[in-house]
Amino acid sequence: MSVIIRQAVPDDTDAIYNMINGLSVYSEAPLENLPDIEEMKNSLFSSKTGAEACICEVDGVIAGYAVIAMSYSTWLARYSLNMEDLYLLPDYRGRGAGKAMLQYLAQVALDRQCSRIEWNALEWDKSAKDFYTSIDALPLNEWVRYRLDGPALQRFASSDLR
């Protein structure tokens, strides 16, 4: 099995979009919340957003993708690599491609002098959690992630703070 990990290019947008649809189905997220393909292309391949993607090819077939962005830790005074998505098509799971993608991202993090890589996993996704612990990643049980979005975000942003 030949595994190649590379930076995504705009011509990969259709493949990434299709895999995001697969991830949405897998994670039981509503498909209607996905951006359109042009919006995704503009956000992944614009220097203004800070997001970027990489592609995993197995035997010449696009088998997976990861989306990353930089974040900053005030505790460490260094950047961290935030992995938004890591997805492999079902036929390529359990064959080492996911580990190859994470090793690639680990090297990216070290090359950029990042102190760590962080990501989220769904509470019910036992296979993902088992995979992550197999590479010595640790869950952050002491942190609770919060989200402010949609109408609540708009209400809060426009509220009088007095």
- Which tens digit of pLDDT belongs to each residue from 131-144? 999 999 999 988 88
Give the pLDDT confidence score for residue 6 in this predicted structure: 97
* Pairing label, strands 3-7, 78-88: unpaired
Domain around 129: 3-158
User: How large is the average pLDDT for residues 147-151?
Assistant: 90
pLDDT at 162 over 70: no
Of 57, 79, 80, 55, nearest to 67 by C-alpha is: 55
Provide the number of structural domains found in the chain: 1
pLDDT tens-digit readout, 74-129: 988 999 999 999 999 999 999 999 999 999 999 999 999 999 999 999 999 999 99
CATH code at position 39: 3.40.630.30
Instruction: Give the H/E segment covering residue 67.
Output: strand 61-73
Secondary structure letter of residue 11 according to DSSP: G
* pTM to 2 decimal places: 0.89
CB 65 within 8 A of CB 8: yes
Distance CA 140, CA 161 (A): 32
